[in-house]
Structure 1
Amino acid sequence: MKTESRNLLLVSFYLLLVAFFFSAPKAAKAVSIDQQLTIPLNNGTQTTDREDADTLLRLGGQEEQKGNLEKAIPYWLQALELYQRVGDKEAIGLTYDYLGITYGKLGRYIEAEDALRRRLAVARDRQDFQGQIYGLNNLGTVLLQRGAVDAAIVSFSEAARIAQSIKSLPGEGLSLSNLGLATAGAGDYYQAIKRYEEALIFRRRGDDPLGEANTQNNLGDAYLATEKYRDSLLAYRAAQRLGRQTRDRSTQIRAIDGQVAIYSRLRQYPVAFELLDQRLTLAQESQNLRQELRTLALLAQLYQASGNNPTAQTFYERAIILARSLGDEQQEAFLINDLAQIRFTRAK
């Protein structure tokens, strides 16, 4: 495949990267890596190692799309070894990104930070300013997740400075959005809202609908934290619309979760149930059994909260079966305990 194809892949990767990693302040949200791998990495140097590495990278992406993060990592580690063997620094940096992002989602922060610092070193060695911007943002997110808020702000600020110096609209939008995330992590939601609103300007100017959706979800979270429900709903709905536009299910799911949280607080259960039905459809369409399990559990909890214990029991039973099939013993135990409480209540 020609060099132009590889460059297109990398541009696509950079624009989509944040939505995969910065899905929510409490955890990384998942844009499909599989979607980012629709163009082969092979840039014309036809070698078996390179072709094998490209295949392994895709196989990892397919596992990630299904929610099987632990299974994705071995594929990427094998791909990394092969890329190192052929000396392809561009692909090495890309693979470190995938590894760092996924380690972060799994809470393996030491490994995530190591992978992302290596990714950043590759970008600096190649004088790849775009790579530095996104590497710093990803590193900042890992730092934020492990509670190092000040260090995260430094990382995001450096990314914003580089983005401004090369006039990268997507980079500025991303970095400002993440500065908002860090500010929210410090508990200053009003300052976070200001950062998010600034970020939206660059997201729109840079024609970055997926990035805009991520920032809208962040904005919805900040408004929710300040109990400004109307503003929060507007932001989440905008994110859901953009998620549909870009066909990104994970963005839609996150926007739905925010709306469900609001309607549950307001006890507007019919609207919340309708949204969760949409969530279940999205999970099933993507064959993401983890998200399907999460949706069944949410439906069970919401029906229980609304006083409809018979329907809640049905959803708990479905969730338990799925948790058992996934081998998730901890989640299965939690669900069995919740179901037992319902049965005890009904037996009185």
Structure 2
Amino acid sequence: MKRKDSSPGQMLPMFPLKKWQHSQKQHPYTFYIFLFACLLMPATANAADITEQLHYPKQQAVSQDGRNEADSLMGIAERQLQQKTPEKAVTSLLQALELYHSISDLRAQGLAYDLLGKAYVELGQFKDAEDAIRRRLAVARDTQDFRGQVFALNNVGSLLLQKGEALAARESFAEAVGIASQIKNSEAQGLSLSNLGLATARLGDYNKAIKLYETALIYRRIVGDPIAEGNTYNNLGEAYLAMGDYQNTIGTFGYGLRLATRTRDRMNEFRAIDGLVAAHSSVGRKERASELLSQRLTLARQLGNIPEELTTFEAYALLYEKQGNYRTARNFYERAIVLSRTLEDNKKEVQLVDKLTQMLKK
């Protein structure tokens, strides 16, 4: 997956198979991370295990027509992912893998596993996604594809974080850092260090995480990827916020917001605003926090993003509730509840009603 670090991890662009070798050089990310949005989702594994689904022919040769069919299936799977039909992409990719396994084409298998992992993540089937990504990692090791190993290890770590296994994720990211350093790939080093910082922060060692983020930023500036740089700035801001260092929190998120706005990276734009609202609220700058929430609401409405609009109303409600302005807070809670019903999000509706009820008891 491409873009955004596991923080909330980067997906491989969709190209016909014969163009993949060139695209790998230009776009090395797989589908990490995803994954900030994916990291917040509960892990599910409704599909059968990949091992049970794949049936590899025993013959060691296949006709040219068979290879052409496999390549065609890869192209079909790419289009299906672009069309937001990952369940169909899984079917196409499993068929392609049978053919690639029959001719022992490891490189093509690796590319297929990349896409298969992406498809399973989009389906929310993280157990199957992890299986596919680990198979991708095995292929990269068998072929001594060190660059492929780095990005596969980052994807494995991202999924481990999603499962709450921060210690195992840190080990995966640390291995990726080691390989990236050996091959002296700045892009891979920046990604791996940023993710290692994320896992380290999840384990509560914020000072070490900050140092890792700062080193990651050096490599991300070398590469000249402002989206990746902005993501790491947001990670760094969250570490400062967890430590209660509000001055550095505001400066870091402020820079992250400028980068996200310039690159139209909306997810990180929302993240940066949320970090700034939390920091300004913590130091008593309620008016500035309200201004930022107004900016957030405008952005959500411009994008037609109802879930983010709901989140903004809830943030407004919490802000006014902390100020003791219960009348205004109630208004925002009620507006958030209306949107939760529009989205048919029953769980969120119950949470909001409970918060409103608790506030009215004060």
| TM-score using structure 1 length | 0.78
Provide the identity percentage: 41
- The SS at the match of 2:34 is helix
User: What is residue 79 of structure 2 aligned with on the other side?
Assistant: 55
Residues 110-119 or 150-159, more deviating: 110-119
* 1:61-80, Cα deviation, whole Å (9 max, x unpaired): xxxxxxxxxxx653543453
Q: Structure 1's 114 and 171: CA in aligned 2 closer, same or farther, altered over 3 A?
A: same
Give the conservation status (yes or no) of the 8 Å contact 1:50–1:86: no
Matched ranges for 1:1-348 at <5 A: 6=20, 9-10=23-24, 14-15=28-29, 17-18=31-32, 20-21=34-35, 27=40, 49-60=73-84, 73-81=86-94, 83-84=96-97, 87=100, 88-89=108-109, 91-99=111-119, 101-102=121-122, 110-343=127-360
Q: Structure 1's 179 and 333: CA in aligned 2 closer, same or farther, altered over 3 A?
A: same
Query: In 2, distance between residues paired with 1:11 and 1:20?
Result: 21
Q: CA RMSD in A?
A: 3.1
Q: Structure 1's 20 and 11: CA in aligned 2 closer, same or farther, altered over 3 A?
A: farther
Give the conservation status (yes or no) of the 8 Å contact 2:74–2:93: no
Query: In 2, distance between residues paired with 1:275 and 1:99?
Result: 35
Q: Structure 1's 118 and 276: CA in aligned 2 closer, same or farther, altered over 3 A?
A: farther
Residues 293-302 or 335-344, more deviating: 335-344
Code of the aligned partner of 1:152: A
1:170 deviation in Å?
0.9
User: What is residue 36 of structure 1 aligned with on the other side?
Assistant: none
User: What is residue 66 of structure 1 aligned with on the other side?
Assistant: none
- For these two proteins, the number of residue pairs brought into alignment is 315
* 1:110-138, Cα deviation, whole Å (9 max, x unpaired): 34432321232343345433322111012
Which of structures 1 and 2 has the bigger CA Rg? Answer: 2
Residues 301-310 or 222-231, more deviating: 301-310
Query: In 1, distance between residues paired with 2:249 and 2:183?
Result: 33
Code of the aligned partner of 1:74: E
Query: In 1, distance between residues paired with 2:17 and 2:129?
Result: 29
* 1:261-317, Cα deviation, whole Å (9 max, x unpaired): 111212322211221222233333444333232222222222222233333223222
* 1:169-214, Cα deviation, whole Å (9 max, x unpaired): 0111111112222222222211111111111111111112122112
Give the conservation status (yes or no) of the 8 Å contact 2:180–2:188: yes
Query: In 2, distance between residues paired with 1:182 and 1:170?
Result: 19
Residue segments in structure 2 that go unaligned for 5+ positions in a row: 1-14, 42-67, 101-107
- The SS at the match of 2:220 is helix
1:148 deviation in Å?
3.3
Query: In 2, distance between residues paired with 1:100 and 1:129?
Result: 24
1:259 deviation in Å?
1.0
User: What is residue 64 of structure 2 aligned with on the other side?
Assistant: none
Query: In 2, distance between residues paired with 1:22 and 1:310?
Result: 34
Code of the aligned partner of 1:235: T
Query: In 1, distance between residues paired with 2:314 and 2:229?
Result: 29
1:21 deviation in Å?
2.1
Code of the aligned partner of 2:279: I
Q: Structure 1's 277 and 198: CA in aligned 2 closer, same or farther, altered over 3 A?
A: same
